[in-house]
Structure 1
Amino acid sequence: MNKVPFKTVLYLPSQAAAETEATITKWFVKPGESFVKGKILAEVESAKSTFEFESPCDGKVINIICAEGSTTSFESPVIEIETTDSSLKNEIPSASASAVETPQMEISIVEKQKEPAIREISMLGIGTYLPERIVTNGEMLADHPDITEDYIFGVTGIRERRWAKKEEKPSDMAYIASVNAIRNSGLKPEEIDAIIVSTTTPDVMMPSTACILQEKLGIRGVPSFDLNAACSGWLYGISVAKGLILSGMAQNVLVTAVDMQSRLLDKKDRNTYFLFGDGAGATVISGNHPGHTIKCEILTADAGGIHMARRSYMGYEVPENTGDVDPWIRLDGRALFRFATESFSSIIRELIVKSGWQASDIRWVVPHQANSRILKAAAQKSGVAFERYYLNIDKVGNTSSASIPIALSEIERGLQKNDKIIFCTVGAGITAGGMSIEW
Structure 2
Amino acid sequence: MALPGTRDIPDIRVLSVGTALPGAPVDNIALARRFGQSEQWAEWVDVFVGTRTRHLALDLERGTLTHSLADLATTAAARALAEAGLEAADVDVLVLGTATPDLLMPGTVNIVADRLGIDQIPTFQLQSGCTGAFQAIALGRQLLLTGEHRTALVIGGDVCARAFDLSADVSALPPEQLVNAVLFGDGAGAVVLSADPVPGAPVIRQVFTRLVGLGQAPGQTLTWFGPNDRDSDTPAVSEDYKAIEARVPVLAEEIYRELLETLDWKADALDYLLPPQLSGRMTTRISELLGATSAEEISVVTTTGNNGNGLPFLQLELLLPRIAPGERAIAVAVESSKWIKAGFALEGA
Q: Could you tell me which amino acid in structure 2 is paired with residue 331 of structure 1? A: E
1:152 aligns with 2:33: no
Query: In the aligned structure 1, how far is the partner of 2:116 from the partner of 2:275?
Result: 29
Change (3 A) 1:125 1:387: closer
User: Of 168, 171, 174, which residue of structure 1 is paired with 2:73?
Assistant: 174
TM-aligned CA deviation for residue 418 of structure 1: 2.2
> Higher helix fraction: Structure 1 or Structure 2?
2
User: Of 202, 206, 215, which residue of structure 1 is paired with 2:114?
Assistant: 215
For 2:97, the equivalent position in structure 1 comes to: 198
Alignment of 1:19-168 (within 5 A): 109-113=3-7, 115=9, 119-142=10-33, 143=35, 144-145=37-38, 147-165=40-58, 166-168=65-67
For 2:224, the equivalent position in structure 1 comes to: 313
Identity percentage of aligned residues:
24
Change (3 A) 1:386 1:341: farther
TM-aligned CA deviation for residue 366 of structure 1: 1.1
Query: In the aligned structure 2, how far is the partner of 1:432 from the partner of 1:424?
Result: 8
Q: Could you tell me whether the CA contact under 8 Å between 1:110 and 1:298 is conserved in 2? A: no
TM-aligned CA deviation for residue 224 of structure 1: 0.8
Query: In the aligned structure 1, how far is the partner of 2:217 from the partner of 2:74?
Result: 31
Q: Could you tell me whether the CA contact under 8 Å between 1:244 and 1:250 is conserved in 2? A: yes
For 1:246, the equivalent position in structure 2 comes to: 145
Query: In the aligned structure 2, how far is the partner of 1:177 from the partner of 1:322?
Result: 32
Change (3 A) 1:126 1:319: farther
For 1:224, the equivalent position in structure 2 comes to: 123
User: Of 410, 425, 429, which residue of structure 1 is paired with 2:338?
Assistant: 429
Query: In the aligned structure 2, how far is the partner of 1:335 from the partner of 1:352?
Result: 26
Change (3 A) 1:395 1:146: closer
TM-aligned CA deviation for residue 432 of structure 1: 1.9
For 2:249, the equivalent position in structure 1 comes to: 341
Q: Could you tell me which amino acid in structure 2 is paired with residue 276 of structure 1? A: F
Query: In the aligned structure 1, how far is the partner of 2:235 from the partner of 2:113?
Result: 29
Stretches of structure 2 that go unaligned for 5 or more consecutive residues are 59-64, 171-176
Query: In the aligned structure 2, how far is the partner of 1:247 from the partner of 1:287?
Result: 10
Change (3 A) 1:233 1:347: same
Q: Could you tell me which amino acid in structure 2 is paired with residue 302 of structure 1? A: V
TM-score (norm 1): 0.70
Query: In the aligned structure 1, how far is the partner of 2:38 from the partner of 2:71?
Result: 34
Residue 320 of structure 2 aligns to a residue in which SS?
helix
Change (3 A) 1:200 1:370: same
For 1:40, the equivalent position in structure 2 comes to: none
Q: Could you tell me whether the CA contact under 8 Å between 1:360 and 1:384 is conserved in 2? A: yes
Query: In the aligned structure 1, how far is the partner of 2:4 from the partner of 2:233?
Result: 39
Q: Could you tell me whether the CA contact under 8 Å between 2:19 and 2:314 is conserved in 1? A: yes
TM-aligned CA deviation for residue 114 of structure 1: 5.7
Q: Could you tell me whether the CA contact under 8 Å between 1:195 and 1:225 is conserved in 2? A: yes
For 2:288, the equivalent position in structure 1 comes to: 380
Query: In the aligned structure 2, how far is the partner of 1:292 from the partner of 1:403?
Result: 19
Query: In the aligned structure 1, how far is the partner of 2:309 from the partner of 2:129?
Result: 6
Q: Which has more radius of gyration? A: 1
Query: In the aligned structure 1, how far is the partner of 2:117 from the partner of 2:227?
Result: 31
Change (3 A) 1:302 1:238: same
Q: Could you tell me whether the CA contact under 8 Å between 2:101 and 2:107 is conserved in 1? A: yes
| CA RMSD after TM alignment | 2.2
Q: Could you tell me whether the CA contact under 8 Å between 1:254 and 1:283 is conserved in 2? A: yes
1:188 aligns with 2:96: no
TM-score (norm 2): 0.87
Tell which deviates more after alignment, 408-417 or 281-290.
408-417
Q: Could you tell me whether the CA contact under 8 Å between 1:366 and 1:391 is conserved in 2? A: yes
Change (3 A) 1:211 1:361: same
For 1:259, the equivalent position in structure 2 comes to: 158
Cα offsets for 1:51-78 (capped at 9, x unmatched): xxxxxxxxxxxxxxxxxxxxxxxxxxxx
Query: In the aligned structure 2, how far is the partner of 1:415 from the partner of 1:386?
Result: 15
TM-aligned CA deviation for residue 110 of structure 1: 4.3
Number of residue pairs aligned between Structure 1 and Structure 2 = 327
For 1:46, the equivalent position in structure 2 comes to: none
TM-aligned CA deviation for residue 228 of structure 1: 1.4
